[in-house]
C-alpha cells in the first residue's frame, strides 16, 4: 500500500515500492490547493494503488494539472488513466516534451511550459526549469517558490529506508547510484541544471526516488558538481539494482 506523507505545507509525498524487497522506491507529489496538482503520476501498473493513496487527501476527479517532468513509465505511465478520471485535468510538460511525447501520447491536449511560465494553483505557484538531458532530452523540473520546494525528479536520487524525509547526508550513496546507472550524458548539461536549481535556493528537494531532502542541499549540489557522474555505463536493471 502506498504511503502518504505531508513533506511541505500542503505538499504530499505518495510513495510506492517499485521493486519488492528492494530499497528503491518511486514517489509522486500532490499539491493540495484550489487547483490540485500531481507532479509525476507513477507507473501505469501502480495506478490503483496511487489513486487510492491520492484519494486519502483529495478527490482525484478534481485534479487540475498533471505535471510530467520527463517521459518515462515512472514519471507518467498512469497519465491517461488519471486524465480519464479527472475531466478538467491538463497534462503539463516542457515544449519539447509536448512536441515529441505528450502531444501524441496524452488523451487530452497538453500544455507546454517554459522558464517564463507560472501556474497559479491558489496558495502555491509552480514555475519551471528547462533542464535538457537531465536526464532526457525534454526534461524540466517544476518548483514551488512559495514553499521553496523543487520537484527534482531523478536528480538527487537516493535510498528510501522507510523515511519520507531525511536530514542525513546521503550524498555518497547518491554518487554511487549515479555511477552505476549512468543517466547523465554530459557534464555541461548537468552543470546547467545544477546552476538553475541552485539559483532558486531550494529548501526542500522533493525526490522522485528516495527520501525527500530537507537539509544539506548544498552538500548534494556540491557532490554532483565534484564527482564524475557522466561516464558511460552499461547498467542492466534486469540483472541488478542500483549500487548503494
Ligand atoms: Fe527518469
Ligand atoms: Fe525515475
Q: Is 141 a residue whose pLDDT tops 80?
A: yes
Ligand 2 geometric centre to CA of 33 (Å): 25
Tell me how far the alpha carbon of residue 73 lies from the centroid of ligand 1, in angstroms.
8
Of the ligands numbered here, which is closest to the C-alpha atom of 208? 2
Tell me if 198 is assigned to some domain: yes
Residue 37 domain boundaries: 3-226
Ligand nearest 135 Cα, by number?
1
Q: What is the pLDDT of residues 160-192, one digit of tens each?
A: 777 999 999 999 999 999 999 999 999 999 999
* DSSP assignment of 146-180: TTTEEEEETTT----TT-SEE-S--HHHHHHHHHH
What is the percentage of the chain residues whose pLDDT exceeds 90? 91
Q: How far is the CA of 183 from the centre of ligand 1 (A)?
A: 8
226 C-alpha to ligand 2 centroid (Å): 23
Distance CA(119)–CA(111), nearest Å, equals 11
User: Average model confidence (pLDDT) for the chain?
Assistant: 95
pLDDT of 244 higher than 80: no
What pLDDT is recorded for position 240?
A: 80
- Checking if the pLDDT of 203 tops 80, the result is yes
Mean pLDDT of 109-136: 98
> In the prediction, which pLDDT does 162 show?
79
Confidence of residue 81 (pLDDT cuts 50, 70, 90): very high
Q: Specify if 172 maps to a domain.
A: yes
Give the pLDDT band (50/70/90) at residue 20: confident
Residue 148 in any domain: the answer is yes
Closest ligand by atom to 16 CA: 2
Using CA of residue 207, residue 33, residue 14, residue 140, what is the dihedral sign?
negative
- Residue 150 domain flag: yes
17-26, 61-70, 99-108, 145-154: the lowest-pLDDT one? 17-26
Answer yes or no: is 237 within a domain: no
User: Is a pLDDT exceeding 90 seen at residue 36?
Assistant: yes
Strands (E), 62-175: 65-67, 90-93, 111-112, 119-120, 125-130, 140-144, 149-153, 165-166
pLDDT of residue 185: 94
Q: Does some domain include residue 73?
A: yes
Question: What is the 153 CA–ligand 2 centroid distance (Å)?
Answer: 7
Average pLDDT, integer, range 25-33: 96
Cell of 186: 554530459
Q: Could you tell me if residue 231 is inside a domain?
A: no
What CATH number is attached to the domain comprising 9? 3.60.15.10
Centroid of ligand 1 to alpha carbon of 51 (angstroms): 21
pLDDT computed for residue 138 by the predictor: 98
Ligand 1 centre from 208 Cα, in Å?
Answer: 9
Ligand 2 centre distance from Cα of residue 120 (Å) = 26
Residue 17, in any domain of the structure? yes
Q: Residue 137: left (phi > 0), alpha (psi -120 to 50), or beta?
A: alpha
Which of 232, 217, 230, 223 shows the shortest CA–CA distance to 189? 230
217-226 and 187-199 helices, crossing angle to 10°: 160
What pLDDT does residue 207 have?
97
Q: What is the mean pLDDT of residues 102-123?
A: 98
Mean pLDDT of 8-15: 97
Kindly give the distance from the C-alpha atom of residue 141 to the centroid of ligand 1, in angstroms, as a whole number.
12
- Measure 144 CA to ligand 2 centroid, in angstroms: 20
pLDDT of residue 43: 95
pLDDT at 242: 80
Domain count, the chain: 1
Please, what's the b/e burial string for 83-94 (b: 16 or more CB within 10 A of its CB; e: otherwise)? beebeebbbbbb
C-alpha of residue 88 to centroid of ligand 2, in Å: 26
pLDDT value of residue 33: 98
Amino acid at each position: 500500500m502506498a504511503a502518504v506523507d505531508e513533506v511541505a505545507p500542503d505538499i504530499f509525498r505518495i510513495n510506492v515500492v517499485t521493486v519488492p524487497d528492494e530499497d528503491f522506491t518511486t514517489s509522486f507529489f500532490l499539491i493540495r490547493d484550489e487547483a490540485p496538482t500531481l507532479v509525476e503520476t507513477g507507473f501505469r501498473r501502480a495506478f490503483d494503488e496511487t489513486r487510492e493513496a491520492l484519494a486519502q487527501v483529495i478527490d482525484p476527479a478534481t485534479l487540475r494539472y498533471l505535471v510530467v517532468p520527463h517521459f518515462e513509465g515512472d514519471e507518467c505511465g498512469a497519465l491517461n488513466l488519471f486524465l480519464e478520471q479527472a475531466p478538467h485535468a491538463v497534462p503539463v510538460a516542457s515544449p519539447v516534451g509536448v512536441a515529441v511525447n505528450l502531444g501524441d501520447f496524452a488523451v487530452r491536449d497538453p500544455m507546454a511550459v517554459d522558464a517564463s511560465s507560472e501556474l497559479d494553483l491558489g496558495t502555491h505557484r509552480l514555475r519551471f526549469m528547462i533542464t535538457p538531458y537531465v536526464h532526457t532530452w525534454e526534461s524540466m523540473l517544476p518548483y514551488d517558490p512559495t514553499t521553496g520546494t523543487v520537484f527534482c525528479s531523478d536528480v538527487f536520487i537516493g535510498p528510501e529506508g522507510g523515511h519520507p524525509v531525511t536530514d542525513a547526508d546521503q550524498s555518497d550513496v547518491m554518487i554511487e547510484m549515479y555511477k552505476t546507472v549512468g543517466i547523465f550524458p554530459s557534464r555541461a548539461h548537468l552543470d546547467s541544471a545544477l546552476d538553475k536549481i541552485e539559483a532558486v535556493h531550494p529548501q526542500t528537494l522533493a525526490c522522485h526516488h528516495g527520501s525527500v531532502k530537507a537539509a544539506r542541499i548544498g552538500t548534494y549540489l556540491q557532490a554532483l558538481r565534484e564527482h564524475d557522474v557522466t561516464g558511460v555505463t552499461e547498467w542492466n536493471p534486469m540483472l541488478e539494482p542500483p549500487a548503494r
